[in-house]
Amino acid sequence: MCKGISILKARLKQELFDQYELAHRITTRGEATQQELHFMYPGASPIELPVIQDGQLVIMEWGNRNNKESKLPKTGWCRLESLQAGKWRWLSPEKVVIPADFGLEKSVWFQIHEGMEGVVVHDEHERPHVYMLTTAASVYYQNMTQHDRMPVLVGQEI
Amino acid sequence: MYIIIASMIGHVDADCFYVSAERVRYPHLKGMPVGVLGNHGACVIAKSYEMKQAGVPTGGAIWEAVPVCPDAVFVKRDFRWYEILSRKMLAEVQRVSPQVEFYSIDESFFRAVDVRLSAAERLQRAMLDRVGVPVSIGIAPTKTLAKLISDSSKPFGCGVIDDEAARLEILRDRPVTDITGIAKRSARRLSEQGITTCEQFANADRAKIRWLLTKRGEDLWWELNGHSVLPVQTKRPEHKFISRGGSIGRASNDVARVRGFVVRNVERLVEALNHYQLCCDQLILSLLFRDAPERSGRRSLLGSTADFERLVCAALEMMPEVWSPRHASVHYMHVIAGSLWAAGNRQMGLFDDDLYQSNHDRFDAIASVKSQINSRVGRFALRMGSTLPLKDVYADPANEYDICDVHGKMCF
C-alpha cells in the first residue's frame, strides 16, 4: 500500500499554506535544498492529501478514519478491483490525481514521478474525501516495500 | 623512478553515477540520501554520498539500509537512461582527447593531451555543465595510477601524478585492494607474503609478484611503478566469453521457474552473439544456490553455432546434472558461450550434413521472424513458451534492458 506521501513545497502555491494550515507539515530530508510536505495516514491531524481537481491543487481529507457516524468507508484506500466491480458506485466516485514526489510504505520512501490515482467522494455534508486507489503490487514493489498492494501510479511502473 | 610526462593517461569516473544520473532528470534529489535499487527491487546497487555517510553499504538489502538511513529515498534503476548519459560523458571526453577507452558505463580512460590540473578541472566543469554528472578525474603516467588518483580525489576532485613524490604519496598506506585487478583472493596471496599496501606492492620484487599473481599482477607492478603497459584501447578486444545471467530474484527450487530463467538467459545470449556476429563451440551453465555450493556444467556443441535451438537444448540438457542437490534453491545463474568464433569463420561439425543445413535454415528463418517482430513490437514480445512462468519478470518493462545490454564497453 502507501501510507504516506511527500510533495515538494515548491509545487504548492503560497495561499494553500494559509488556507489549509500546512506549515506544520514542512520538513527537509538530509541536506536537500528543496523542502517537502509530508501527508501521513494516520498522521498529523487532520489526515489530508493534496489533490488535483479541475486543474487546481487543493487539499482534501484522506479517506474516513475518525468519523464513525459517516457512511463513508472507514479507510484511506480504494481497491481498483472494487471500483471496477461497481462497489463504490453508490458514492459517485470521481477519479483524481494525487500529486506526490515520494511515497512511503513500511518505512521505505520510494520515488514517484508525478503522482497516483485517487477517487473523490462526498460525505453527508457534501464535504469531499479522497481515497488512494490501490492495485496488486508488482514483484518489484513487493520486494521493495514488503507489501502486496501498491498505489496506481500515473505514468510510472515500479 | 623516471616518469614519461609526455605520455600521460587520464581517468574519468562519475561520482555515484546511477544516483547522479537520477539527479540529472530529478534535480530535487540533490542533497538527499538516495539509493538505486537493482533488478528485483531488493538490493541497493548504488548510493549517494549522503547515504554512504549514514553507513549504508553498496550491495546490501533494502531492509538493512532503511533502519540505518530512514530518510533515504529509493529509486528504481533505469539502464536506458544511464546509457544515454554514459554516451554523452564519453562524447565530452572525446572532445579533449583523440584516444578514449569506454571502460565501463561510468568510467573512461583517455590519452591526456593537456596534463595540467587546470585541464582536468576544465573537463570536470564541462561534464557538469553539459551532461549534469559530477566526475572525478585523475591524470598519471599509467592507467592504474590514473584510476588510483581519481578514486582518491572523490567526490568531485581532480588529481595529477606528474612527479615521483606524487606517485609515492598516492601509494603510501593505500591497501592493495584499491588497485583494480587485486580482489580478495589476490590480496590474500599478497598478504601471506607481507604485502598489504600499494607501496609494498610497488617495492616488491617483480619476479615474486609475477610468481604470486601471474602476468596480470606483473602488469600492475609496472603500472604502479610508473611504466605504462596497459594501453588505452579505443576498440573493445575480441570477446573470449559472452555471458548472460544474474540474480533470479527470490531463490527458487521450482523447476519451471528456473527453466524459464535458463531459457530467458539463452535468448539474451543469442542476441549478444548476433550483435557481436559471433558463434560458439561451447556452452557453460552455472547455477549458484542459496543452500549448496555453486555447480557448473559444460557442453561441446559439435560445431560452432549461435542457433537458439541448439544452445537452449544444450543448456536444458545440462540443467539436471548441474542442479544438485535437487532440493537446493537457485538464486543466481550464468549461461556462458565459450570458444568464440567470428560468425563468418564458423567451424563446421563432423556431423554437419544436409539435414543439419536444412535444420539450420529453418532455425534461421524462425529467428529472423522473431527478431523482426520483436524489433517492431518490443524486445521479448515473441519468446519461448518456457518463459511463461516468469510473468512477473516480463511484466516489468525495465527488465527489457540491463547493464550488459550497453554494448562496446571494456568491462561489465
pLDDT at B312: 95
pLDDT tens digit sequence for B60-96: 999 999 999 999 999 999 999 999 999 999 999 999 9
Residue B183 has pLDDT above 60, yes or no: yes
Helix (H, G, I), strand (E, B) or coil at B240: coil
Closest-CA distance, A108 to chain B, in angstroms, reads 7
Q: Does residue A141 form part of some domain?
A: yes
Kindly state the cell numbers that stand for A71.
457512511
* pLDDT confidence bin for B271, thresholds 50/70/90: very high
Determine whether the interchain pair B71/A142 forms a contact, defined as Cβ–Cβ distance below 8 Å.
no
Kindly state the cell numbers that stand for B241.
566469453
Give which of A106, A110, A153, A113 is closest to A133, Cα–Cα. A153
- Confirm whether B8-13+96-224 and B242-405 share one CATH topology: no
Size of interface A-B (CB pairs under 8 A): 78
Cis peptide before B155 (omega within 30 of 0): yes
Mean pLDDT, rounded, for B102-129: 95
Closest-CA distance, A106 to chain B, in angstroms, reads 10
Give which of A158, A17, A154, A130 is closest to B396, Cα–Cα. A158
For A109, the closest of B26, B74, B76 (CB atoms) is B74
B66 chain-A contacts, CB cut-off 8 A:
107-108
SS3 content of chain B, % helix, strand, coil (to 5): 45, 20, 30
Domain that holds residue A82: 4-151
Q: Cα(A148)–Cα(A119) distance, rounded to whole angstroms?
A: 21
CB–CB of B286/B333 below 8 Å?
yes
Mean pLDDT, rounded, for A16-31: 89
A92-96, B7-11, B238-242, B356-360: range with lowest mean pLDDT:
B356-360
Cβ–Cβ contact A139 with B under 8 A: yes
Structural domain count, chain A: 1
Q: Where are the beta strands (DSSP E) in A1-153?
A: 4-8, 26-27, 36-40, 48-53, 56-62, 77-79, 94-99, 102-105, 108-111, 115-122, 128-136, 149-151
pLDDT at B407: 85
Q: Which fold has domain B17-81?
A: MutS, DNA mismatch repair protein, domain I (3.40.1170)
Cβ–Cβ contact A9 with B under 8 A: no
Closest-CA distance, B236 to chain A, in angstroms, reads 34
A30 chain-B contacts, CB cut-off 8 A:
31-33, 50, 71
Q: Does residue A72 form part of some domain?
A: yes
Mean pLDDT, rounded, for A101-117: 96
Mean pLDDT, rounded, for B337-366: 77
A25-29, A102-106, B145-149, B316-320: range with lowest mean pLDDT:
A25-29
Question: Which residues are within 8 A (CB) of A95 and not within 5 positions of it... i.e. 6 or more apart?
Answer: A117, A118, A119, A133
Mean pLDDT, rounded, for A9-13: 92
Q: Does residue A130 form part of some domain?
A: yes
B50 chain-A contacts, CB cut-off 8 A:
30-31
Could you name the CATH architecture of B242-405? Answer: 2-Layer Sandwich (3.30)
Residue B405 has pLDDT above 90, yes or no: no
Kindly state the cell numbers that stand for B167.
606517485
Percent of chain B with pLDDT over 90: 75
Q: Does residue A45 form part of some domain?
A: yes
Cβ–Cβ contact A20 with B under 8 A: no
For B41, the closest of A33, A111, A143 (CB atoms) is A143
pLDDT at A44: 66
B43 φ/ψ angles, rounded to the nearest 5 degrees:
-115, 135
Kindly state the cell numbers that stand for A13.
502555491
Determine whether the interchain pair A144/B42 forms a contact, defined as Cβ–Cβ distance below 8 Å.
yes
Residue B2 has pLDDT above 50, yes or no: no
ipTM of the complex: 0.94
* pLDDT confidence bin for B356, thresholds 50/70/90: low
Cβ–Cβ contact A84 with B under 8 A: no
Q: What are the residue boundaries of the structural domains of chain B, listed by start?
A: 8-13+96-224, 17-81, 242-405
Q: Does residue A70 form part of some domain?
A: yes
CB–CB of B154/B13 below 8 Å?
yes
Mean pLDDT, rounded, for A11-33: 89
CATH code, residues B8-13+96-224: 3.30.70.270
Cα–Cα distances (Å) from B376 to A15, A130, B370, in that order, read: 49, 41, 10
CB–CB of B266/B387 below 8 Å?
no
A141 chain-B contacts, CB cut-off 8 A:
41
pLDDT tens digit sequence for B184-241: 999 999 999 999 999 999 999 999 999 999 999 999 999 999 999 999 999 888 899 9
User: Amino acid letter at B178?
Assistant: D
Give which of B265, B272, B233, B259 is closest to B100, Cα–Cα. B233
pLDDT tens digit sequence for A49-96: 999 998 899 999 999 988 888 899 999 999 999 999 999 999 999 999
pLDDT at B303: 82
